[in-house]
């Protein structure tokens, strides 16, 4: 293990209270040592962020100056994308062809919020009282705890860090204890960009002594979390201590709806992207295929044939299309769920087992669950490459099945009927709907869900407002003395 990462607290790189190994999922072998932040390190990070919030080096900057720092960070991210991608691929097992392109695009998120920094305007209120002027002053919400998972972590941190810094907040960014290397390396870019000490702090560690301490800290004003519902429940309970604002971007069990009039080959390619890209390790994975019964056989035949041509390989080779899962725990969980679904009546059309090679590889899997209402794979977010198939016979039935879940994050609709696309997209319960495409993102577009998929939105202009609060300022313009002090004005 030749790599040793460090925490970044108050403008300084430092060792943690302890270290722990990080495993390369393609080999199953440890490749780096990660620093573990515990209560002391987390407290110092929050204290540094709290000081920086009002220090003149940050609190005294103009909004335009904050934007220039973000522009500088964007340029550094773009230049460092190859190095960051290599680290992410080693640490998470995501294929290099995706980490390279995704991290390069992350720079656009920082540029977008750099441009917003001096556009977060207050407003004048034409108040209904004579001799009064009232305006709203928009101010940073305060210290932000940004907690992100291992998958797409540079992207998931950018949609929090970008708007938070544009608004003038300070941030303690907690990387997942699973594969935190890319964010710990990203801290070096923050340092190089010239952000004042304490404005951005990057830590990683385990639940009780890191995540729980951070989310419940009395000086934290907002928690922005991406992850699973169970961890989110802990975070919500923790914020009862500090009454921090909370935004939650959680998981999904997203329907991928294919109507008989769709361009079937295009839908096949999109379905492959929706569930097998990133080995299915995406919160928006289109893991429930709902196919109109009349074209089920044709569509599945094309899909199985296309899946057979997916190039499985080492994730650091550019020709590889499909790599390992991030952790052995994921692999074992998926094996168990698939086995139980088959026992409940689901039919394996392809895959259904771990691949016989080093690392945590699980075969791209399609389960025909038609008529099997209790198949566990239909209801459970697996965070892996398992597609559950069901059919529908009418538009109404497709909507009912799409909405038959506790999640509400994303949906895909494939049809050439424009009026149907409008009708169905309006009635499907999800925060994001893709029509005749899937898994597209942009810094200009809000992203988020409802139900067990969380609440709040990331991306777009409105997300920056979530990191602000308003102050109402009243100015009495009359020079006459106040006449009656016992009457509300």
> pLDDT tens digits, residue range 329-367?
999 999 999 999 999 999 999 999 999 999 999 999 999
pLDDT digits (tens, 9 = 90+) for 26-55: 999 999 999 999 999 999 999 999 999 999
Under CATH, what is the fold of the domain 3-250+449-473?
A: Aldehyde Dehydrogenase; Chain A, domain 1 (3.40.605)
381 catalytic per annotation: no
Residue 246 has pLDDT above 70, yes or no: yes
pLDDT at 226: 97
With cut-offs at 50, 70 and 90, classify the pLDDT of residue 106.
very high
Taking the C-alpha atoms of residue 145 and residue 472, their distance in angstroms, rounded to an integer, is: 26
Mean pLDDT computed over every residue of the chain: 96
Q: State both tokens at 263.
A: 């361009």
pLDDT at 487: 87
pTM, two decimals, is 0.96
Is pLDDT of 1 > 80?
no
Q: Which tokens hold the place of 140?
A: 């940073």
Closest CA to 442 of 164, 158, 118: 158
Query: Exposure pattern of 394-415 as b/e (b: 16+ CB <10 Å)?
Result: ebeebbebbbbbebbbbbbbbb
Q: Point out the catalytic residue in the list 249, 292, 381, 466.
A: 249
pLDDT, residue 473, reads 97
Q: Where are the alpha helices (DSSP H) in 148-263?
A: 153-167, 181-193, 212-215, 229-238
Q: Please write the tens of the pLDDT for every residue from 69-97.
A: 999 999 999 999 999 999 999 999 999 99
Domain ranges of the chain: 3-250+449-473, 255-435
Task: Quickly count helices (H) and strands (E) in the chain.
Answer: 15, 21
Give the pLDDT score at 133. 96
SS3 content of the chain, % helix, strand, coil (to 5): 40, 25, 35
Q: Categorize the per-residue pLDDT at 275 as very low, low, confident or very high, splitting at 50, 70 and 90.
A: very high
Evaluate whether 437 touches 262 at the Cβ level (below 8 Å): no
What's the CA gap between 463 and 136, in Å, rounded? 19
Q: Which of 283, 292, 369, 466 is catalytic?
A: 283
What is the DSSP track for 207-222? IIIIIHHHHT-TT--E
pLDDT in tens, 137-189: 999 999 999 999 999 999 999 999 999 999 999 999 999 999 999 999 999 99
**Percentage of residues in the chain having pLDDT higher than 90:** 95
For residues 43 and 40, give the distance between their C-alpha atoms in angstroms, rounded to a whole number: 5
379 confidence band (pLDDT: 50, 70, 90) = confident
pLDDT (0 to 100) of residue 282: 94
249 is catalytic: yes
pLDDT confidence tier of residue 192, bands split at 50, 70 and 90: very high
The second-level CATH assignment, the architecture, of 255-435 is 3-Layer(aba) Sandwich (3.40)
Place of tokens 């964010």: 183
Calculate ∠ Cα 13-202-27, nearest 5°: 90
Structure confidence by residue, pLDDT tens digits, 298-340 = 999 999 999 999 999 999 999 999 999 999 999 999 999 999 9
Q: For residue 2, what pLDDT is reported?
A: 64
């Amino acid at each position: 293990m030749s790599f040793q990462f460090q925490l970044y607290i108050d403008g300084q790189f430092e060792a943690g209270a302890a270290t722990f190994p990080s495993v390369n999922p393609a080999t199953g072998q440890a490749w780096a040592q990660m620093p573990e932040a515990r209560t002391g390190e987390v407290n110092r990070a929050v204290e540094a962020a709290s000081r920086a919030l009002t220090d003149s080096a940050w609190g005294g900057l103009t909004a335009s100056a904050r934007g220039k720092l973000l522009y500088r960070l964007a340029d550094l991210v773009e230049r460092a994308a190859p190095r960051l991608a290599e680290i992410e691929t080693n640490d998470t097992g995501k294929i290099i062809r995706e980490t390279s392109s995704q991290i390069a695009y992350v720079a656009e998120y920082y540029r977008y919020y750099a441009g917003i920094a001096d556009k977060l305007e207050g407003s004048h209120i034409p108040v209904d009282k004579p001799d009064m002027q009232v305006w709203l002053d928009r101010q940073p919400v305060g210290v932000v705890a940004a907690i992100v998972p291992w998958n797409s972590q540079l992207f998931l941190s950018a949609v929090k860090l970008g708007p938070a810094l544009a608004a003038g907040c300070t941030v303690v960014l907690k990387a997942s204890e699973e594969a935190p290397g890319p964010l710990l390396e990203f801290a070096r870019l923050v340092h190089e960009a010239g952000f004042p000490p304490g404005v951005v702090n990057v830590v990683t560690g385990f639940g009780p002594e890191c995540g729980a301490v951070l989310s419940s800290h009395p000086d934290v004003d907002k928690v922005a979390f991406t992850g699973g519902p169970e961890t989110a429940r802990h975070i919500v309970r923790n914020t009862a201590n500090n009454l921090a604002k909370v935004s939650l971007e959680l998981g999904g069990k997203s329907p991928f709806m294919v109507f008989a009039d769709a361009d079937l080959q295009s839908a096949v390619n999109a379905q492959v992207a929706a569930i097998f890209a990133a080995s299915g390790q995406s919160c928006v994975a289109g893991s429930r295929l709902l196919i109109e019964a009349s074209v089920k056989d044709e569509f599945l035949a094309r899909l199985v044939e296309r899946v057979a041509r997916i190039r499985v390989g080492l994730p650091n080779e550019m020709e590889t299309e499909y790599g390992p899962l991030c952790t052995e725990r994921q692999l074992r969980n998926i094996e168990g769920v698939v086995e139980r679904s088959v026992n409940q009546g689901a039919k394996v059309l392809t895959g259904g087992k771990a691949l016989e090679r080093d690392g945590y590889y699980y075969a791209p899997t399609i389960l025909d669950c038609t008529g099997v209402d209790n198949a566990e794979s239909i209801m459970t977010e697996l965070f892996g490459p398992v597609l559950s198939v069901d059919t529908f016979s009418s538009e109404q039935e497709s909507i009912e099945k799409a909405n038959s879940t506790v999640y509400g994050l994303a949906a895909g609709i494939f049809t050439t009927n424009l009026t149907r696309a409008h009708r169905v997209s309006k009635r499907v319960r999800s925060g994001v709907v893709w029509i005749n495409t899937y898994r597209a993102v942009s810094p200009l577009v809000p992203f988020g869900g409802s139900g067990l998929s969380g609440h709040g939105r990331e991306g777009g202009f409105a997300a920056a407002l979530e990191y602000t609060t308003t102050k109402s300022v009243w100015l009495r313009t009359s020079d006459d003395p106040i006449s009656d002090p016992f009457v509300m004005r």
